[in-house]
Structure 1
Amino acid sequence: MTLFQSGATYERISKADAGDEDGVIRQGEDTEELAARRGIPIEGRRFRDNDKSATHGKHRPDYERLMAAVQRGEVDVIIVYMLGRLWRNRRERAEGIEILRKHGVSVLCVKGPELDLTTAAGRLLAGLLGEVDTFEVEQMSEREQREMRQRVERGEVPTGPRCFGYTADGTEVIDSEAAEVRKMFEAIAAGASLSGLAADLNQRQILNRNGREWTHNAIRWLLLNERYAGLREYNGTTYSGKWPAIISEDQWRQAVSILTDPARKKSPGSARKWLGSGLYLCGICDDGRTKVTSAQRSKSSVKGAPYESVRTYKCSGPVKHLQRAAEPIDQLIAGTEPGQPLGLVPRLLVREDAGRLLVDDERPDMDELNTKAATLRARLKNMTEAFADDDEADALEFKRAVRRVKERLAEVERQMTNPARAAVLGELVHSDDAVAAWAALPLDRKRAVVDMLMTVTILKGGPGRAPFNPETVRIVPKIG
Structure 2
Amino acid sequence: MPVAPEYLHLVYPPPFPALLYGRNSHDPKKKGRSVSDQLHDGRDLCARFGWPVLREFKDTGISASRHARKKRDDFEELIAAIEAGGARIVVAFEASRYYRDLEIYVRLRNACHANDVLLCYNGMIYDLSKREDRKATAQDALQAEDESEGIRDRILRTTRIHAQQGGAHGKIQFGYLRKYDPDSGDLIGQFPHLKHAEHVNASFRSIDSGNSLYSVLTRLKGEPSAVRLDGAPWTERNVKRMLLNPVYVGKRVHNGTLYDAAWDALLKKPDGEPDVALFRRVVKRLTDPDRGTQFDSRAAHLQTGITLCGECGDQAKMRAGKQRGRPLYDCADMHDTSISEALGNAYVEEAVLTWLSTPAARAALVPDEEEEEAEQSEAQSRLDTLKAQLGEARKLASTIGPDGALGLPVAALAAMERQLQPQIDEAQEAVNQVMGVSPLVRSLVMAPDPDIIWNGAPTTATGPEQPGLTLEQKRSVLRTIVTIRLYKAGKGVRTIKPGRIKLSFIGEPGFERKPLSAREAAERRAARAAEKAAGSGPLPVVGEPDLKDD
TM-score under structure 1 length normalisation = 0.67
> Letter of the aligned partner of 1:131 in structure 2?
L
1:8, CA displacement in angstroms? 1.9
SS of the residue aligned with 2:303? Answer: coil
2:445 is aligned to 429
1:382-423 C-alpha deviation (Å, 9 max, x unpaired) = xxxxxxxxxxxxxxxxxxxxxxxxxxxxxxxxxxxx855634
Equivalent in the alignment of 2:412? none
Secondary structure of residue in 2 paired with 1:125: helix
What displacement does 1:205 show? 6.9
Q: Deviations over 1:207-246 (max 9, x none)?
A: 3634665434324433443332223233455433332223
Change (3 A) 1:266 1:446: closer
- On the 8 A contact 1:207/1:214 being kept in 2, the answer is no
Match of 1:287 in 2: 313
1:181 and 2:192 are equivalent in the alignment: no
The aligned amino acid for 2:501 is R
- The 8 Å contact of residues 202 and 214 in structure 1, kept in 2 or not, is answered as yes
Kept after mapping to 2: 8 A contact 1:165/1:181: yes
User: Which of 344, 354, 358 is residue 329 of structure 1 equivalent to?
Assistant: 344
Pick from 124, 142, 163 the counterpart of residue 131 of structure 1: 142
Q: Is residue 296 of structure 2 the alignment partner of residue 271 of structure 1?
A: yes
Q: Secondary structure at the match of 1:291?
A: strand
Shift in CA distance, 175/163, structure 1 to aligned 2, threshold 3 Å: same
CA deviation digits over 1:247-279, x for unaligned, max 9? 368744774587479983288787252432322
> Which residue number in structure 2 is paired with residue 453 of structure 1?
481
Residue 124 of structure 2 corresponds to: 113
CA contact (8 A) 1:312 1:323 kept: yes
How far off is 1:429 after superposition?
A: 0.9
Matched to 1:435, the amino acid is D
Q: Label 1:81 to 1:355 Cα distance change in 2 as closer, same or farther (>3 A).
A: same
Larger Rg computed on CA atoms:
1
**SS of the residue aligned with 2:109?**
helix
Q: Which residue in the other structure is 2:73 paired with?
A: 61
In 2: Cα distance, 1:331 partner to 1:456 partner: 13
3-state SS of paired residue (1:148): helix
Give runs of aligned pairs for residues 344-423 of structure 1, distance below 5 A.
Answer: 344-351=351-358, 354-358=361-365, 419=434, 422-423=437-438
Return the alpha-carbon distance in structure 2 between the equivalents of residues 325 and 113 of structure 1.
87
2:191 maps to: 172
Q: Tell me, what secondary structure is at the counterpart of 1:78?
A: strand
Tell me the percent identity.
24
Q: Which residue of 1 aligns with 2:108?
A: 96
What is the CA-CA distance between 1:203 and the residue it aligns to?
6.3
Q: Give the unaligned 5+ runs of structure 2.
A: 1-8, 180-188, 369-432, 456-467, 509-550
Report the Cα offset of residue 289 of structure 1: 0.8
Distance in 1 between residues matched to 2:86 and 2:487, nearest whole Å: 75
Q: Give yes or no for contact 2:246–2:279 (8 Å, CA) kept in 1.
A: no
| Counterparts in 2 of 1:426 and 1:295: CA distance versus 1, 3 Å | same
Report the CA distance shift for 1:258/1:100 in structure 2 as closer, same or farther (over 3 A): farther
Deviations 1:169-205 (A, max 9, x none): 3543344543443454456566666455445545677
Counterpart contact for 2:285–2:291, Cα < 8 Å: no
Query: C-alpha offsets along residues 89-129 of structure 1, whole Å, 9 cap, x if unaligned?
Result: 333233333343344432122x3321222233222222221
Aligned-residue offset at 1:88: 2.1
**TM-score using structure 2 length:** 0.60
Q: Distance in 1 between matches of 2:133 and 2:285?
A: 56
Decide whether the 8 Å contact of 2:250 with 2:265 is kept in 1.
yes
1:31 positional shift: 1.9
**Residue 474 of structure 1 aligns to which amino acid in structure 2?**
I
Could you say what the CA RMSD is over the residues aligned between the two structures, in angstroms?
Answer: 4.2
Kindly indicate whether residue 41 of structure 2 is the aligned counterpart of residue 30 of structure 1.
yes
1:182–1:247 Cα contact (<8 Å) kept: yes
Contact 1:8 1:42 in 2 (8 A): yes
C-alpha distance in 2, partners of 1:155/1:222?
A: 19
What secondary structure is seen at the aligned counterpart in 2 of 1:330? helix
Higher deviation after alignment, 111-120 or 205-214 = 205-214
1:6: Cα distance to partner?
Answer: 4.8
1:162 alignment counterpart: 172
Per-residue deviation, residues 116-147 of structure 1 (Å, max 9, x unmatched): 22233222222221233233333333333343
Q: Structure 1: give runs of 5+ residues left out of the alignment.
A: 298-308, 335-342, 362-417
Of 50, 61, 64, the residue aligned with 2:60 is 50
Larger CA deviation: 420-429 vs 119-128: 420-429
2:196–2:226 Cα contact (<8 Å) kept = no
Q: Please state if 1:13 is matched with 2:40.
A: no
Q: How far apart are 1:430 and its partner, in Å? A: 1.8
Find the aligned partners of 1:444 and 1:76 in 2 and give their Cα distance.
Answer: 70
> Which SS does the other structure have where 1:288 is aligned?
strand
Counterparts of 2:222 and 2:336, CA distance in 1: 37
* Paired amino acid for 1:106: L
AA aligned to 1:134 is E
CA distance, structure 2, for counterparts of residue 325 and residue 360 of structure 1: 37
